[in-house]
Amino acid sequence: TQLLEQSPQFLSIQEGENLTVYCNSSSVFSSLQWYRQEPGEGPVLLVTVVTGGEVKKLKRLTFQFGDARKDSSLHITAAQPGDTGLYLCAEVGAGSYQLTFGKGTKLSVIP
Amino acid sequence: NAGVTQTPKFRILKIGQSMTLQCTQDMNHNYMYWYRQDPGMGLKLIYYSVGAGITDKGEVPNGYNVSRSTTEDFPLRLELAAPSQTSVYFCASRKGPTNEKLFFGSGTQLSVL
């Protein structure tokens, strides 16, 4: 089973600051998904990255897939309180029906 | 569309009791999953199904059972509940096996005392 390491585990920042969270593996990802989970709710998909070096943008969120496909990052510009939540990365195994999730980064954006 | 619906939202069980967590989806998805989420531990896969009549174990299947008699429903059965099964349980579904989006229910918070 591939292990996904997410860092940092917790992050508390002021509104308007920028931040980056990371997802790393010792093995090559087939593809990677990022989810955001708000308290009391299930995770919601933000993006899927497939190609090494790929960059995707979703408003103030920028997702990057490492060239070697062993790491990914999520950068948030000018964080807002609505960005508060648990950010999870998930590896979609090649030829597998399963998704493996990291432990997540819990983000708090203070107004 | 209702998406993925889980019931109940909260439940307290005594040690040794049994219960079934219900999950239904109205998106005609073949692939369905049960995860548990413990604080600081992310999501761990309990069981999954790739279609009606087909189920398979995930990472943490001990103490649980599933069935998939229809495409829509994927109930999770806890027999002889133990305190270690205190967790938040999420059901999820998706259309295809690879990069398809996973749709989650809103979860069942279970406490075993």
- Give per-residue pLDDT as tens, B8-35: 999 999 999 999 999 999 999 999 999 9
If you count DSSP H runs as helices and E runs as strands, how many of each does chain B have, helices first?
A: 0, 11
Q: What is the pLDDT of residue A96?
A: 67
Contacts of B36 in chain A (CB under 8 A): none
A7 Cβ neighbours under 8 A, 6+ residues apart: A21, A22, A24, A105
How many other β-carbons are positioned within 10 Å of the β-carbon of residue B64?
19
Cα dihedral A111/A22/A34/A85 (nearest 10): -30
- Placement of tokens 């940092």 in the chain: A8
Q: Are B40 and A99 a contacting pair at CB < 8 A?
A: no
| Model confidence pLDDT, tens digit, residues A42-98 | 999 999 998 999 999 999 999 999 999 899 999 999 999 999 999 999 987 766 677
Note whether B90 contacts A42, CB cutoff 8 Å: yes
Q: Is A27 helix (H, G, I), strand (E, B) or coil?
A: coil
A4 within 8 A of A100, measured Cβ to Cβ: yes
In angstroms, the CA B60 to CA B45 distance is 6
| Burial class (CB within 10 angstroms; exposed 0-12, middle 13-18, buried 19+) of B77 | middle
- The pLDDT assigned to A95 comes to 61
pLDDT of residue B34: 97
What are the Cα distances from residue A4, in Å, to A27, A89, B25, B29? Answer: 9, 8, 28, 27
Nearest Cβ partner for A42 among B42, B101, B104: B104
